[in-house]
Structure 1
Amino acid sequence: MYNPFYIYIMSFSLALILCMFNWSILYPVIKSDVIIFLFITFIVSLFLGVLYSKTFEPKFINLSNQRRPRISMYLLSVLAPFSILIATDRDLPLYMVLVHGTSNHNEYGISLLMPLVLTLCTLFAAYFFQLFLSFKDKKYLLMYFTLYIPPLLLFSRGTLTIIFMVTIFILLMFFGRKIKIKHLLATGTLILLAMYLFGSSGDTRISGGETTILGMGGATDNFLQSSVPDEYFWSYIYISSPLANFQLNVDSQDYLNNNIPFHTFILAEIVPGFISKYILEIYDMTEAQPALIAPPFTVGTMYSKAFSYSNWLGPTIIFSYFIILIFSFMKVVSKKNPFFVSGIAILCAMSFLNTFSNMLMHSSIILPMFYIILFGFLIRIPFIRNFYYHKELGI
């Protein structure tokens, strides 16, 4: 349940099944070429999932026998850049959405500080949730919920979704083989609630509310006449439309960008986004423009854009990089690293979200992974270790 390769199989299978519900008139028929490609990756992932589990033995690590963190120092690490961000621009995205009905999330504040704040919130939320499960101390749970505040004020639904997903994976790791039906029911209820809230926030984010998303998504009579609440159409369209876009790109040979240099593909799809976007802008490099079922739905799984660059070679390279990234990260990160469990949960979240977009280069995933590796080295320095942790156990 917390193996990124198994998560890959389950998430793409879910998207494939949803595409067959016939709830949107915009969707093309999922054809054999896409199904065969996914089936091959499923077989490879099944084998690698077994290898991953045997090699790394990923499991929840109880931190109660380790030095407790200095909560104030972790909080300062987030609040310092967040305070600077607010000081430079007081029109918080949440305020703009609630009061003016428009979001300025992408243009808000200092561009370099926004991802720093959001990714630190992701990592620290995962870590403090693990601490809460280890120590059963409510102050860690309070810190966990506190870390929802910056992404909420910045109206970053992506960060909130990642934190929620990482929490679910840490819970699954915590219960391990002790998972009972009541735990699965509770998890399912939380997921349904999150999907409902996701739909509600989406209705708030765009003018026109439910009517707009039902129209934009091309809701069919099958959906409109069903007993499924309209709020869930957001989740349906978000989960399944990327695969529909991928199929559309496979069908639309006119959207192949074979004239774009191969190094542009590597830069745009593999190099981390917080680096590549500046290089692409500086050198005015043209990126591929994949086909879309509709303009509002711009993502096409981890594969759609790669296919636009290099036909089936593109998705093959992306899947290979997906494998390399997971095994390389797990090889580098020691179980002694306090963020080891957080890293596993982030890998699982990355694997699930690859169904939507290419998360292998997305800052919201790559930066927390980088922090984990960096912190693993820095924590060996006594000054830094004593800055973030109490000197004695049980304090």
Structure 2
Amino acid sequence: MLNFYYIYGAVWGIVLFLYLLGWSSLNGSLSPVLLVFFSVTIFLSAALGKRRESCFVYSGNKLPKLPTWAVLLFLVCGAIGFMQLGYIPALQFIDSTYDYQQLLDREPSIFMTVAVVGSVFGCGYQFSRFIENREAADMAKLIPLALYLVMFSSRGPLYICGVTCFIIVCSKRKRTLRFADYLITAILIIFALWLFGVLGNIRVGCNWNDSSYIYLLGGFTGLWPEYIPHEFCWAYSYLTSPLANLNYSLSFTVQIDSLNFLYDFLPMMLAKRLPLYVTPAAPLQVTYFNVSSVWSNYFLHLDLPGLFIGYLLQIALLETWLLAARGTCAENLMKAYCSECVIFSFFANSFVYPTMAYPAIMLGCACIFWKCSSRKRALSYLSARDVKPLLED
């Protein structure tokens, strides 16, 4: 599960399979160009994953404690963010007055961004520590951060945390997994997809078991197998509509923009403040399915070559993050964050999106700091014992 090359092949293989089932009228015939692209990149990822398999073995290193002040900072920023909103989304969710579109339309404040991103990072970090240490202190920091995300009531951050923790657990227990474990995992995944649909129904103001909204808008009439509960229409739409939009984009002529193509690999917070930055606007089949996977920006800025160049730059970015964590106690967590970015790339540009990419960037910065501090301590230790003259001889 830590080998993101294998995960790339699995994720896009599943998305392609679901798309080609044709259960939605929005899923048009897939372009031969995309079939070739995904076939080539899935094969390359499998080959790279096999070649570098030894680099993704789970190690039992324990992370340093997450400072209490950091947890408090994230929670205080969250409280300020709720005050700026004027309400707590979870409470509106409970009394059926929750308006998700209102939350989307409102420009997120710096406090809310710090709180959500920090909580996603902190949940993954503390869970990684807890699974090694089994200390109550780690759980005491994990629970408030998770509860904040629940109060925020956005499915994205919760599922990102869940996927990260799931990767860590599976990687740690890989050698001891039994058939029963695989069966339980499959049941949990199916339940999570069903719950995703239930939350979607509630979010749009329907009863938990009324999927008529997504059934109509998703174009499932007459195509969806009736033996599958309609709650799963939400997951199917979220998994395949980004690829459908990418497929739709290929029918448009694009204007080459090499600079913004490079911006596609920088943190969003930084990129949108740089000169000549243009907010990506991928063509959409319908306005309510408004995401188009990680590949759309690459295509819009560099045409078809952008897909292949983008794939290579993704690898370079992931390997850079791994390099930052190599030799530190955070290797396992960094691999989990990288794998999470690859998993959610079907939905958005997860390599720059705050809740998906920033945890890896934050951890990379921490690893560099740890390495520099360790090197400084080593040099001080040697200098204190007059080793330097001996080395010069």
Compute the TM-score of the two structures, normalised by the length of structure 2.
0.86
Q: What is the match of residue 197 of structure 2?
A: 199
Shift of 1:138: 4.6
SS at match of 2:211: helix
Q: What is the match of residue 61 of structure 1?
A: 60
CA distance in structure 1 between the partners assigned to 2:136 and 2:234 by the alignment: 34
The 3 A distance-change label for structure 1 pair 52 and 123 is farther
Report which structure shows greater RCO (CA 8 Å, sep ≥6): 1
Q: What is the match of residue 383 of structure 2?
A: none
Structure 1, unmatched stretches of 5+, are 383-395
Q: What is the match of residue 218 of structure 1?
A: 219
SS at match of 1:317: helix
Shift of 1:124: 1.7
Opposite residue 81 of structure 2, the aligned amino acid is L
SS at match of 2:287: coil
Q: What is the match of residue 9 of structure 2?
A: 9
Opposite residue 349 of structure 1, the aligned amino acid is E
The 3 A distance-change label for structure 1 pair 287 and 265 is farther
Shift of 1:50: 2.5
CA distance in structure 1 between the partners assigned to 2:237 and 2:313 by the alignment: 27
Q: What is the match of residue 38 of structure 2?
A: 38
Q: What is the match of residue 128 of structure 2?
A: 130
The 3 A distance-change label for structure 1 pair 96 and 109 is farther
Question: Bigger shift: 270-279 or 194-203?
Answer: 270-279
Shift of 1:31: 3.4
Shift of 1:10: 0.4
CA distance in structure 1 between the partners assigned to 2:59 and 2:112 by the alignment: 30
CA distance in structure 2 between the partners assigned to 1:160 and 1:340 by the alignment: 23
SS at match of 1:222: coil
CA distance in structure 2 between the partners assigned to 1:239 and 1:149 by the alignment: 27
Q: Is the 8 A contact 1:24 1:218 kept in 2?
A: yes
CA distance in structure 2 between the partners assigned to 1:43 and 1:87 by the alignment: 49
CA distance in structure 2 between the partners assigned to 1:195 and 1:60 by the alignment: 30
| Counterpart selection for 1:160 from 155, 158, 161 | 158
CA distance in structure 1 between the partners assigned to 2:165 and 2:274 by the alignment: 34
Measured against aligned partners, the alpha-carbon deviations of 1:100-137 in whole angstroms (never above 9, x if no partner) come to 24123335585222222122212221122222221233
The 3 A distance-change label for structure 1 pair 373 and 101 is closer
| Counterpart selection for 1:311 from 298, 303, 319 | 303
Q: Is the 8 A contact 2:78 2:116 kept in 1?
A: no
Shift of 1:287: 4.1
Q: What is the match of residue 253 of structure 2?
A: 256
Opposite residue 359 of structure 1, the aligned amino acid is S
CA distance in structure 2 between the partners assigned to 1:365 and 1:117 by the alignment: 14
Opposite residue 19 of structure 1, the aligned amino acid is Y
The answer to whether the aligner puts 1:114 opposite 2:115 as a matched pair is no
Q: How does 1:310-389 map to 2 (within 5 A)?
A: 310-337=302-329, 339-379=330-370
SS at match of 1:256: coil
CA distance in structure 1 between the partners assigned to 2:260 and 2:137 by the alignment: 47
CA distance in structure 2 between the partners assigned to 1:167 and 1:28 by the alignment: 35
**Greater C-alpha radius of gyration:** 2
CA distance in structure 2 between the partners assigned to 1:341 and 1:80 by the alignment: 29
CA distance in structure 2 between the partners assigned to 1:345 and 1:146 by the alignment: 22
The 3 A distance-change label for structure 1 pair 151 and 109 is farther
Shift of 1:37: 0.9
Q: Is the 8 A contact 2:352 2:358 kept in 1?
A: no
CA distance in structure 2 between the partners assigned to 1:92 and 1:41 by the alignment: 43
CA distance in structure 2 between the partners assigned to 1:148 and 1:188 by the alignment: 23
Shift of 1:162: 0.5
Question: Bigger shift: 319-328 or 41-50?
Answer: 41-50
CA distance in structure 2 between the partners assigned to 1:84 and 1:222 by the alignment: 46
Q: What is the match of residue 274 of structure 1?
A: 269
Shift of 1:174: 0.8
CA distance in structure 1 between the partners assigned to 2:165 and 2:346 by the alignment: 19
Question: Bigger shift: 307-316 or 288-297?
Answer: 288-297
Q: Is the 8 A contact 2:194 2:232 kept in 1?
A: yes
The 3 A distance-change label for structure 1 pair 57 and 177 is same
Q: Is the 8 A contact 2:81 2:109 kept in 1?
A: no
Tell me the matched-pair count.
369
Question: Bigger shift: 74-83 or 120-129?
Answer: 74-83
CA distance in structure 1 between the partners assigned to 2:118 and 2:355 by the alignment: 9
CA distance in structure 2 between the partners assigned to 1:13 and 1:2 by the alignment: 18
The answer to whether the aligner puts 1:86 opposite 2:82 as a matched pair is yes
Opposite residue 190 of structure 2, the aligned amino acid is L
Question: Bigger shift: 159-168 or 175-184?
Answer: 175-184
Q: Is the 8 A contact 1:82 1:113 kept in 2?
A: yes
Q: Is the 8 A contact 1:128 1:140 kept in 2?
A: yes
SS at match of 1:360: coil
The 3 A distance-change label for structure 1 pair 202 and 85 is same
CA distance in structure 2 between the partners assigned to 1:193 and 1:141 by the alignment: 24
The answer to whether the aligner puts 1:240 opposite 2:231 as a matched pair is no
Cα RMSD of the aligned pairs, angstroms, is 2.5
